[in-house]
Amino acid sequence: MERRRDGFTLLEVLIALAILGGALVTVQFAVSAAVFRQTQRENETISLGLAQETIERALVSPASEPETPFDLPFESFTRQVEVTPWQGLSDLREVAVTIRWSGMAGQESLHVHTLVANY
Tell me the pTM: 0.73
Average pLDDT over residues 63-90: 86
CA angle 66, 69, 74 (to 5 degrees): 150
Phi, psi of 84 (to 5 degrees): -135, 150
Q: Which domain holds residue 30?
A: 10-117
Q: How many domains in the chain? A: 1
Residue at 2 is within a domain: no
Q: What is the pLDDT of residues 16-35, one digit of tens each?
A: 999 999 999 999 999 999 99
CA atoms of 28 and 26, how far apart (whole Å): 5
Task: Give me the pLDDT at residue 92, please.
Answer: 87
How far apart are the C-alpha atoms of 81 and 30, rounded to whole Å? 38
Which of residues 119 and 35 earns the better pLDDT score? 35
Confidence at residue 24, expressed as pLDDT on a 0 to 100 scale: 96
Say if 1 falls within a structural domain.
Answer: no
